[in-house]
Amino acid sequence: MTDVADMTLDELREALAPHLAPNAAFDGWSAAAVAAAARAIGADPDIARLAIPAKPIEMIDLWFAHIDREMARRLPPERLATMKIREKITALVETRLDILAPDREALRRAVAILAMPQNAARATRLGWRSADVMWRLAGDTATDYNHYTKRAMLAGIYAATIAAFLNDESEGQADSRAFLARRIENIMAFEKAKAKLAARSDHRFSMSRFIGRLRYNAR
Protein backbone atom coordinates (compact mmCIF):
# COMPACT_ATOMS: atom_id res chain seq x y z
CA MET A 1 0.00 0.00 0.00
CA THR A 2 1.30 3.47 -0.92
CA ASP A 3 2.55 5.54 2.00
CA VAL A 4 0.28 8.53 2.64
CA ALA A 5 3.19 10.95 2.22
CA ASP A 6 3.95 9.51 -1.23
CA MET A 7 0.38 9.59 -2.56
CA THR A 8 -0.64 11.65 -5.54
CA LEU A 9 -3.56 14.01 -5.00
CA ASP A 10 -5.88 11.55 -6.77
CA GLU A 11 -4.70 8.71 -4.53
CA LEU A 12 -5.10 10.90 -1.47
CA ARG A 13 -8.67 11.82 -2.44
CA GLU A 14 -9.54 8.14 -2.72
CA ALA A 15 -7.90 7.40 0.63
CA LEU A 16 -9.70 10.26 2.36
CA ALA A 17 -13.14 9.56 0.84
CA PRO A 18 -14.27 6.81 3.28
CA HIS A 19 -13.31 8.98 6.25
CA LEU A 20 -15.31 12.03 5.20
CA ALA A 21 -18.77 10.79 6.17
CA PRO A 22 -18.01 9.76 9.79
CA ASN A 23 -16.72 13.28 10.40
CA ALA A 24 -19.38 15.04 8.31
CA ALA A 25 -21.96 13.61 10.70
CA PHE A 26 -20.56 15.92 13.39
CA ASP A 27 -18.79 18.72 11.50
CA GLY A 28 -21.03 18.87 8.44
CA TRP A 29 -19.66 18.57 4.92
CA SER A 30 -17.00 21.16 5.65
CA ALA A 31 -13.27 21.88 5.90
CA ALA A 32 -13.39 20.51 9.45
CA ALA A 33 -14.49 17.11 8.11
CA VAL A 34 -11.59 17.12 5.61
CA ALA A 35 -9.10 17.95 8.38
CA ALA A 36 -10.51 15.19 10.59
CA ALA A 37 -10.33 12.70 7.70
CA ALA A 38 -6.69 13.71 7.14
CA ARG A 39 -5.89 13.04 10.79
CA ALA A 40 -7.61 9.65 10.55
CA ILE A 41 -5.17 8.45 7.87
CA GLY A 42 -2.14 10.42 9.05
CA ALA A 43 -2.13 12.84 6.14
CA ASP A 44 -0.96 16.45 6.19
CA PRO A 45 -4.13 18.57 6.63
CA ASP A 46 -2.78 21.24 4.29
CA ILE A 47 -2.19 18.67 1.54
CA ALA A 48 -5.63 17.17 2.23
CA ARG A 49 -7.19 20.60 1.66
CA LEU A 50 -5.47 20.73 -1.73
CA ALA A 51 -6.80 17.28 -2.59
CA ILE A 52 -10.36 18.01 -1.44
CA PRO A 53 -11.64 21.58 -1.72
CA ALA A 54 -14.04 22.36 1.13
CA LYS A 55 -17.10 22.39 -1.11
CA PRO A 56 -19.88 20.19 0.27
CA ILE A 57 -21.08 18.98 -3.12
CA GLU A 58 -17.55 17.92 -4.14
CA MET A 59 -17.04 16.09 -0.86
CA ILE A 60 -20.36 14.27 -1.26
CA ASP A 61 -19.40 13.33 -4.82
CA LEU A 62 -16.16 11.77 -3.56
CA TRP A 63 -17.98 9.86 -0.84
CA PHE A 64 -20.57 8.51 -3.26
CA ALA A 65 -17.76 7.39 -5.59
CA HIS A 66 -16.28 5.52 -2.62
CA ILE A 67 -19.66 3.84 -2.06
CA ASP A 68 -19.60 2.70 -5.70
CA ARG A 69 -16.12 1.21 -5.30
CA GLU A 70 -16.90 -0.47 -1.99
CA MET A 71 -20.11 -1.96 -3.42
CA ALA A 72 -18.12 -3.44 -6.33
CA ARG A 73 -15.53 -4.81 -3.90
CA ARG A 74 -18.16 -6.54 -1.75
CA LEU A 75 -19.96 -8.00 -4.76
CA PRO A 76 -17.26 -9.26 -7.15
CA PRO A 77 -18.22 -10.50 -10.65
CA GLU A 78 -17.92 -14.17 -9.70
CA ARG A 79 -20.50 -13.73 -6.95
CA LEU A 80 -22.92 -11.72 -9.08
CA ALA A 81 -22.60 -14.28 -11.89
CA THR A 82 -24.51 -16.82 -9.81
CA MET A 83 -27.56 -14.55 -9.46
CA LYS A 84 -30.55 -13.74 -11.62
CA ILE A 85 -30.98 -10.12 -12.69
CA ARG A 86 -33.54 -9.30 -9.98
CA GLU A 87 -31.24 -10.80 -7.34
CA LYS A 88 -28.28 -8.81 -8.67
CA ILE A 89 -30.06 -5.45 -8.50
CA THR A 90 -31.48 -6.25 -5.07
CA ALA A 91 -28.07 -7.32 -3.75
CA LEU A 92 -26.38 -4.22 -5.17
CA VAL A 93 -28.83 -1.77 -3.62
CA GLU A 94 -28.93 -3.66 -0.30
CA THR A 95 -25.13 -3.66 -0.20
CA ARG A 96 -25.18 0.12 -0.62
CA LEU A 97 -27.55 0.36 2.34
CA ASP A 98 -25.18 -1.77 4.43
CA ILE A 99 -22.27 0.53 3.53
CA LEU A 100 -24.30 3.65 4.29
CA ALA A 101 -25.83 2.39 7.55
CA PRO A 102 -23.02 3.54 9.89
CA ASP A 103 -23.09 7.03 8.36
CA ARG A 104 -26.81 7.69 8.19
CA GLU A 105 -26.54 11.17 9.73
CA ALA A 106 -23.90 12.18 7.20
CA LEU A 107 -26.17 10.84 4.46
CA ARG A 108 -29.07 12.85 5.86
CA ARG A 109 -26.96 16.00 5.66
CA ALA A 110 -25.81 15.09 2.16
CA VAL A 111 -29.38 14.55 0.93
CA ALA A 112 -30.37 17.95 2.34
CA ILE A 113 -27.53 19.59 0.41
CA LEU A 114 -28.37 17.74 -2.80
CA ALA A 115 -32.01 18.82 -2.45
CA MET A 116 -31.05 22.48 -2.77
CA PRO A 117 -32.22 23.96 -6.10
CA GLN A 118 -28.70 24.96 -7.13
CA ASN A 119 -27.56 21.35 -6.73
CA ALA A 120 -30.44 19.68 -8.59
CA ALA A 121 -28.46 18.98 -11.77
CA ARG A 122 -25.50 17.56 -9.85
CA ALA A 123 -27.80 15.42 -7.71
CA THR A 124 -29.36 13.96 -10.86
CA ARG A 125 -25.93 13.15 -12.29
CA LEU A 126 -24.83 11.45 -9.08
CA GLY A 127 -28.00 9.35 -8.96
CA TRP A 128 -27.54 8.41 -12.61
CA ARG A 129 -23.90 7.48 -12.01
CA SER A 130 -24.78 5.13 -9.16
CA ALA A 131 -27.52 3.51 -11.23
CA ASP A 132 -25.13 3.12 -14.17
CA VAL A 133 -22.50 1.49 -11.96
CA MET A 134 -25.08 -0.95 -10.60
CA TRP A 135 -26.39 -1.93 -14.03
CA ARG A 136 -22.86 -2.41 -15.37
CA LEU A 137 -21.97 -4.63 -12.42
CA ALA A 138 -25.19 -6.55 -13.08
CA GLY A 139 -23.92 -7.24 -16.61
CA ASP A 140 -26.16 -4.88 -18.57
CA THR A 141 -24.84 -4.20 -22.07
CA ALA A 142 -27.86 -2.43 -23.58
CA THR A 143 -27.01 0.46 -25.87
CA ASP A 144 -30.48 1.35 -27.16
CA TYR A 145 -33.21 3.26 -25.31
CA ASN A 146 -33.29 0.45 -22.73
CA HIS A 147 -29.89 1.66 -21.53
CA TYR A 148 -31.49 4.93 -20.47
CA THR A 149 -34.83 3.63 -19.21
CA LYS A 150 -33.16 1.01 -17.00
CA ARG A 151 -30.93 3.58 -15.39
CA ALA A 152 -33.69 6.13 -14.97
CA MET A 153 -35.92 3.54 -13.27
CA LEU A 154 -33.15 2.27 -11.00
CA ALA A 155 -32.10 5.81 -10.06
CA GLY A 156 -35.72 6.46 -9.06
CA ILE A 157 -35.93 3.24 -7.05
CA TYR A 158 -32.65 3.99 -5.31
CA ALA A 159 -33.64 7.57 -4.43
CA ALA A 160 -36.98 6.39 -3.02
CA THR A 161 -35.27 3.63 -1.05
CA ILE A 162 -32.79 6.12 0.41
CA ALA A 163 -35.70 8.31 1.54
CA ALA A 164 -37.24 5.29 3.29
CA PHE A 165 -33.86 4.24 4.68
CA LEU A 166 -33.24 7.60 6.37
CA ASN A 167 -36.35 7.10 8.51
CA ASP A 168 -36.00 3.34 9.00
CA GLU A 169 -35.63 2.29 12.63
CA SER A 170 -36.17 -1.42 11.97
CA GLU A 171 -33.48 -3.98 12.74
CA GLY A 172 -31.08 -4.52 9.87
CA GLN A 173 -33.00 -1.99 7.74
CA ALA A 174 -35.71 -4.62 7.28
CA ASP A 175 -38.34 -2.04 6.35
CA SER A 176 -36.07 -0.47 3.72
CA ARG A 177 -35.33 -3.89 2.25
CA ALA A 178 -39.04 -4.69 2.07
CA PHE A 179 -39.69 -1.31 0.43
CA LEU A 180 -36.95 -2.03 -2.11
CA ALA A 181 -38.38 -5.48 -2.87
CA ARG A 182 -41.80 -3.98 -3.61
CA ARG A 183 -40.34 -1.33 -5.91
CA ILE A 184 -38.30 -3.91 -7.82
CA GLU A 185 -41.38 -6.14 -8.12
CA ASN A 186 -43.25 -3.21 -9.68
CA ILE A 187 -40.44 -2.66 -12.17
CA MET A 188 -40.29 -6.35 -13.08
CA ALA A 189 -44.04 -6.39 -13.66
CA PHE A 190 -43.67 -3.36 -15.92
CA GLU A 191 -40.83 -5.00 -17.86
CA LYS A 192 -42.89 -8.17 -18.36
CA ALA A 193 -45.85 -6.15 -19.62
CA LYS A 194 -43.55 -4.22 -21.96
CA ALA A 195 -42.08 -7.46 -23.32
CA LYS A 196 -45.54 -8.89 -23.99
CA LEU A 197 -46.56 -5.71 -25.79
CA ALA A 198 -43.43 -5.85 -27.91
CA ALA A 199 -44.11 -9.50 -28.76
CA ARG A 200 -47.63 -8.67 -29.89
CA SER A 201 -46.27 -5.81 -31.97
CA ASP A 202 -43.90 -8.22 -33.71
CA HIS A 203 -46.86 -10.33 -34.82
CA ARG A 204 -48.90 -7.50 -36.26
CA PHE A 205 -49.50 -7.49 -39.97
CA SER A 206 -46.70 -5.72 -41.85
CA MET A 207 -47.16 -4.95 -45.56
CA SER A 208 -43.41 -4.71 -46.14
CA ARG A 209 -42.81 -8.05 -44.40
CA PHE A 210 -45.66 -9.63 -46.40
CA ILE A 211 -44.26 -8.40 -49.73
CA GLY A 212 -40.79 -9.55 -48.73
CA ARG A 213 -42.06 -13.03 -48.03
CA LEU A 214 -43.81 -13.17 -51.38
CA ARG A 215 -40.66 -12.06 -53.11
CA TYR A 216 -38.43 -14.67 -51.50
CA ASN A 217 -41.08 -17.40 -51.19
CA ALA A 218 -40.63 -17.37 -47.44
CA ARG A 219 -43.06 -19.27 -45.26
Percent composition of the chain: helix, strand, coil (DSSP 3-state, to 5): 80, 0, 20
| pLDDT < 50 positions in the chain | 211, 218-219
Which CATH superfamily is 57-219 part of?
Tetracycline Repressor, domain 2 (1.10.357.10)
d(C-alpha 59, C-alpha 73), whole Å: 21
What per-residue confidence (pLDDT) applies to 211?
47
- Please, which residues have CB within 8 angstroms of residue 129's CB and are 6 or more apart in sequence? 64, 68
Spatial distance between the Cα atoms of 164 and 175, rounded to a whole number of angstroms: 8
Alpha carbon distances (Å) from 8 to 47, 83, 97, 106: 10, 38, 30, 27
Each domain of the chain, given as residue ranges in start order, spans: 1-54, 57-219
d(CA 130, CA 42): 30
**What pLDDT, in 10s, does the model give residues 72-92?**
999 999 999 999 999 999 999
Residue 198 has a pLDDT of: 62
pLDDT of the residue at 145: 84
The pLDDT score that the predictor gives to residue 190 is 65
Beta-carbon contacts of 80 under 8 Å, excluding residues fewer than 6 positions away, are: 88, 91, 137, 138, 139
Residue 199: what pLDDT?
Answer: 64
